[in-house]
Amino acid sequence: MAQESERVNKDTRKALLKAIIVLIVAVAIIYFLGRDSINFSDISYNSVSFYLIFCVGIIFFSTVIKLFATSRAAMNGENLILPYGEDTQECVGKLIDQEALDGKILVDEYIDEFTDRKKASGEKIVLIPSYLLLCSTKGGIKGISKVTAIPRDKIYWVCAQVGRKGGPFRVRLLVFAENKIFHLIGADIEHVKNVVDILYQYIPNFFSCYDPFYLSYELEEIFTKNHAEFLRLYERYHTNWTNDYNVCDILVQNGDHLIIPREIDFFIYFKKESDMGNVAEKLLEQGFAEMSREKTENGDYGLSLTLNMVPDMNDINMVTSGILSLLENIDATFDGWGCTVVKE
């Protein structure tokens, strides 16, 4: 935490020194251009010279105070913002520092792209086993950085949202978490998308079957206006992801490396035969092959399909999430998938 604070303080000092140089140049220009029309020897109250000196003095004094404030790094987690108040700043700071010291930094990316990382500056996002850290360059009056620490178990979903309140060349990295949406703002759309793709290696993309451009706006609105509905959708896709992961894990435990294509069977049950027919038609158009249709003993209609593919976790979850999306507004249940173990 102290290292992050010093990084931001160093960037702030550079910016302040540049501001002082600009101020000196501006004052010099005003003096040379106005020396014939402004009486600089008259500094009495209400004179032009008085107000000019007063403004310059205030700016210079504020800059000096800020420079002095940025000479110290934050200690004991005092630069942490803990939106969920799970512990003290000091305890959380120690945990974060220990995980960083143990080499457990999973993601460390700036919101803007830099070809030379040594010259990188600005806001960044850091992922460790316990927290997702949003590191801001906007320090408080003490001159220290602000780091928002979001517990990993509070995070629902992350995405890149393009073109929000600033035109099409503005992108927000959104973090959907318990009771709140956090964000960082960037200008390089492809870079922020790449950062999100890296995060997906550790924070599952439960909504992989959807276009994130449209979904981010829809889920943001649902999250704000109907939180219960958002939680319903999240639990639905989170459970599906967990089921997919468990099946893949069983295959791996049995010696399958999940790299060889094979026939994978999918099972869906419907309350209405007409719904079964409509969904079957859409899935057949997507490359599925129908295995069987049957009416069960309890009156449901069962549909079995097969698809030749590699049971890679990301790919299979995209397929199963797509099936869930087709069942969203009808009375039906996706009963999972299965395949044979294929060893090399």
Residue 140 has pLDDT above 80, yes or no: no
What pLDDT, in 10s, does the model give residues 247-295? Answer: 999 999 999 999 999 999 999 999 999 999 999 999 999 999 999 999 9
Please say whether the beta carbons of 170 and 164 come within 8 A: yes
Question: By C-alpha distance, which of 204, 331, 337 is closest to 274?
Answer: 331
Q: How many percent of the chain have pLDDT more than 70?
A: 81
Confidence (pTM): 0.75
Q: Which of 185, 227, 183, 232 is nearest to 206 (CA)?
A: 232
Terminal CA-CA length for the chain: 47
* Cα dihedral value 224, 228, 232, 235, nearest 10: 80
Average pLDDT rounded to a whole number, residues 320-327: 95
pLDDT digits (tens, 9 = 90+) for 111-124: 988 887 777 778 89
HEC-encoded secondary structure of 215-265:
HHHHHHHHHHHCHHHHHHHHHHHHHHHHHHHHHHHHHHHCCCCCCCCEEEE
Q: Write out pLDDT tens, residues 28-57.
A: 776 676 666 666 566 666 666 676 777 777
3-state secondary structure of 192: helix
| CA distances for 303 relative to 213, 241, 307, 319, angstroms | 32, 21, 13, 16
Residue 151, pLDDT > 50, answer yes
pLDDT of residue 44: 67
pLDDT at 208: 86
* Percent over 90 (pLDDT), the chain: 58
Residue 276 amino acid letter: M
| Residue 142 binned pLDDT confidence (cut-offs 50, 70, 90) | very low
